Structure 1
Amino acid sequence: MYDEFAQVYDELMTGIDYPNWSDYIHRLFFNGKREFKSILEFGCGTGNITCNLAKKGFDITAVDLSEGMLSVADEKADRMGLKNIRFYLGDMSNFQINQTFDAVISCCDSVNYLPDLEALQSFFLCSYDCLESEGLLLFDVNTSSKYKEVIANNTFVYDLDDIFCVWENEPDFKNNEMHFNLTFFEKNQDGTYNRHEETQVQYFYTIEDIHRCLINVGFKNIKYYDFGTFLPGSNEGDRIQVVAEKK
């Protein structure tokens, strides 16, 4: 899953300021009551935030469901000479490891790929089990307002040097789902193109959904921010940043 997409992901996402995003994660740690050194990251993708946090001195254990994404991330970390990252293939809703961490993070709306409230709560439980006492869980989600008003049923076209991509959004608001249909052409050295098609699905969650599941698992001191700030977040914003503490 996402293995072909992994090869073009970074070129399509050049507009994302990953260093600034990583700085924001770092600042959010000041919500905590402990020193933060070890981080478990779910949905690490091609390792952009992973590597930025590792450069800050954190020890990162990074997990993703896609072998292709992990391969790109591992090569990236190797080029940067980062020795404080371990990569694992795994599912964020049932991952197990014989270790606990100061923080668990999930970025870039990875949580929106969880298909229902049961999977969402399973992710919270998995994260809770992986945290030290007073450790923090940090993650962001796209809101239903963003899916309905910004993403909607738009089509985006990317015409880059070696990649041409058509990204079509297909909303299913009745079932709180957004389908992304991608067709991309990757240029070969001889001037020919390889065509790939991929469909991804994201799911909508409200603050109320998230809060109920976090409380059920046992998290406390739960905060919801308007992403990128420390101002209160709401379902009417585009993206919410969540911070929750293990008892």
Structure 2
Amino acid sequence: MAYEAFAGVYDAFNEDADYDSLFRYVCGVLRAHGVEDGIVADLGCGTGELTLRLAAAGYDMIGVDLSPEMLSVLREKAWETGQEGLLLLCQDIAELDLYGTVRAAVSTFDTFNHIGPAEKFRRALCRAALFVEPGGLVLFDMNTPYKHAHILSDNVYEIEADDAYCVWRNRYDAAACCTHIAVEITYPDMDECDKEAFTEYAYSLEEITRACRQAGLRVEHVADGEDFGPLRPDSVRYFITAVKQAAGENE
């Protein structure tokens, strides 16, 4: 899922996202673990709202996304704000290949939900962990199985912005624990219509923890990914703090 059609209108459709609170939480976790500067990779960076905030906070940012269109939007934003020192890589994070190690990797807005089935998800975590220094962090959020079953489910959502209109249709597959999504974007005064289809996979916290362990990561904390408080049975998003283990280190 690369969000080709979404790139130009993603920010307009996502304008209610609380990037400031997300940035404060991520930055707080990084600094609490001694990661106050150095290289940080934003995996599935999209149009770079979090990437740019972290860059402004003093981190040397690498933005990784499968969509060249998303990276193009990010590059333009960086130029407009004078933050031109970003390294942007067009890659599938399940096949992540950085030039060296980073102090932390961050992935938000359910990027890892788009990676599946389970074996590919585990591989993506392994690739992320491979490039993180021992003692460094992998911070990521994921939509919960509760959200898939009770919020996404088989619902249809309509999203309207000034220059585009989106219809988002979900089809929940309980047996496979995933949601198949079809998106149609239309534009005022234009005949063209963009369509995309993709699948989000839901993983239990036990599955996520096991996958982290296999990647050499220790899950240190799980918060609610919306308000960053304690996790609840009806939380719609996990936010996971995982620490890269040193070679031979046991949990």
Q: Same fold (TM over 0.5)?
A: yes
Q: Equivalences for 1:211-230 in 2 at 5 Å?
A: 211-220=209-218, 222-228=220-226
Query: Residue in 2 aligned with 1:8?
Result: 9
Spell out the pairing of 1:133-148 with structure 2 (5 A cutoff). 133-148=134-149
Please name the residue that 1:196 is paired with.
194
Q: Does 1:167 align with 2:174?
A: no
The Cα of 1:99 is off from its aligned counterpart by: 1.0
User: SS where residue 41 of structure 1 aligns?
Assistant: strand
The percentage of aligned residue pairs carrying the same residue is 29
Checking the alignment, whether the CA contact within 8 Å between 2:66 and 2:91 is kept in structure 1 is: yes
Alpha-carbon distance in 2 for matches of 1:74, 1:41: 14
| Structure 1 residues 211 and 221: CA distance shift in structure 2, 3 A | closer
Counterpart residue type for residue 133 of structure 1:
P
Match of 1:105 in 2: 106
Residue of structure 2 in register with 1:237 after alignment: 235
* Residues 171-195 of structure 1: CA deviation (Å, up to 9, x unaligned): 11111111221111123xxx33421
Alignment of 1:151-190 (within 5 A): 151-187=152-188
Provide closer, same or farther for how the CA distance between residues 53 and 233 of structure 1 changes in structure 2, counting only shifts above 3 A: same
Q: Counterpart of 1:6 in 2: which secondary structure?
A: coil
**Could you say if the C-alpha distance between residues 228 and 158 of structure 1 is closer, same or farther in structure 2, counting changes exceeding 3 Å?**
closer
State how far apart, in whole Å, the 2-side matches of 1:118 and 1:236 are: 26
Contact 1:34 1:134 in 2 (8 A): no
Equivalent-residue separation in structure 1 for 2:134 and 2:103 (angstroms): 8
Q: Deviation per CA, 1:80-119, whole angstroms, max 9, x where unpaired?
A: 1102311000011111122111101101000000112211
- State the Cα RMSD in Å: 1.7
Where in structure 2 are the equivalents of 1:40-59 lying within 5 Å? 40-59=41-60
In 2: Cα distance, 1:152 partner to 1:90 partner: 30
Question: For the residues of structure 1 that align with 2:100 and 2:169, how far apart are their CA atoms?
Answer: 41
Give unmatched runs, 5+ long, in structure 2.
246-251
In 2 relative to 1, CA 32–244 (structure 1 residues): closer, same or farther, beyond 3 Å?
same
Distance 2:196 2:171 in 1: 13
CA contact (8 A) 1:128 1:246 kept: yes
1:206 maps to a residue whose letter is S
> 1:158, CA displacement in angstroms?
2.3
